[in-house]
A and B are shown apart, each in its own frame.
Chain A
């Protein structure tokens, strides 16, 4: 992967730039069907669900509990409306503490 990774990054850049640029530069009508708009708005939340599960349980393949504890810590911190970086740091430190148990 490593040698071609920079080309993957370039590819990611191209496919990210195209949707940003097309309507502003090329489209003459900006009329997306409301259903399509709705689906596009749904994508970020659906992808978050798919990204978290089941991946979070696999960060330590020998112990599913490890990821579960980290996820629970993050969930509680996020529920309290803490800032993203605080949520991330608290779950790291909870797991860091767990390794010493």
Chain B
């Protein structure tokens, strides 16, 4: 039987539902990360409004964590925004790749679902079995992940306040533990990842002795030098991710 136009129209709610279902595992994965973000934001002395605001406006886990550590380190506004930008330029790749497979939706709709691109939503969408990805699917996927991110940021913030002071002190390690937890599994699989992290770590440690490079600018500079030079020294190595 030939697919009729009516069948095509009925597809929209179905795609939405598929997107929501595909978003649920992401939402579950986001819960502890968002909760920890809220907890750390409280420790970094952000207000509840600023904490939820950051999750609502930025919606990018790693750069929100980085922002917290930079706020604690008294970095300036320009450093914070530039670091966020450098951290999130990688979404260009994902957006470009989604465009290849996305249906020809109107620009305003693409402008909306572009907001929901994260490492996780992209990975799920990019590996979905559908030939063409529809706007309703991407919206369903994105909104489920996003709502969970925002809500649990607030929950983490409110619950963090009830913890004893000695425990709150030892929570200073949480941010770094989270970075280590993100890095180590990738480093176990790839020498290139080890080279990238190690060279940036060494550079930033050296920069920490230079007064003008202390803090945010040192992070930006060491990241860029490491990312560019390792690409030239180790090109073609390890395509396993």
Listed in ascending order, the chain A residues whose CB lies under 8 Å from chain B are 1-2, 4-13, 15-17, 19-25, 27, 30, 32, 35, 37-56, 59-60, 67, 70-71, 73-75, 77-79, 81-85, 87-88, 90-93, 95-96, 98-99
Return the contact of A17 from the options B96, B114, B204, B230 (Cβ within 8 A).
B114
Residues B201-225 near A (CB distance < 8 A): 201-205, 208, 218-219, 222-224
Q: A23-B95, A24-B99, A96-B167 are in contact. Are A78 and B176 (CB under 8 A)?
A: no
Can you report 26 A-B residue pairs in the complex whose CB atoms are below 8 A from each other? A5-B50, A6-B53, A12-B84, A15-B81, A15-B88, A19-B88, A19-B95, A20-B91, A24-B95, A25-B114, A27-B99, A32-B96, A37-B93, A39-B228, A40-B92, A44-B90, A45-B183, A47-B86, A48-B183, A50-B203, A50-B218, A54-B208, A59-B176, A70-B173, A83-B32, A99-B169
Q: A32-B92, A99-B170 are in contact. Are A78 and B185 (CB under 8 A)?
A: yes
A20→B96 CA distance, assembly (Å): 9
Residues B35-86 near A (CB distance < 8 A): 35-36, 46-47, 49-50, 53-54, 57-60, 62-63, 66-67, 69, 71, 73-74, 77, 80-86
Q: Is the CB of A43 within 8 A of B227?
A: yes
Return the contact of A8 from the options B81, B117, B181, B235 (Cβ within 8 A).
B81
**B143 at interface (Cβ–Cβ under 8 A)?**
no
Q: A21-B95, A53-B205 are in contact. Are A74 and B180 (CB under 8 A)?
A: yes
Listed in ascending order, the chain B residues whose CB lies under 8 Å from chain A are 32-33, 35-36, 46-47, 49-50, 53-54, 57-60, 62-63, 66-67, 69, 71, 73-74, 77, 80-100, 102, 107, 110-111, 113-115, 117, 166-167, 169-174, 176-188, 192-193, 196-205, 208, 218-219, 222-224, 226-228, 230-231, 235
Give the interface SS of chain B, mostly helix, strand, loop or mixed.
Answer: helix
A20→B138 CA distance, assembly (Å): 13
Give chain A nearest CB distance to B64 CB in angstroms.
Answer: 8
A67→B201 CA distance, assembly (Å): 15
Closest to B64 in A: A12
A23→B117 CA distance, assembly (Å): 12
A22, A49, A79, A83 — which one has the most chain B CB atoms within 10 A of its CB?
Answer: A49
A22→B92 CA distance, assembly (Å): 7
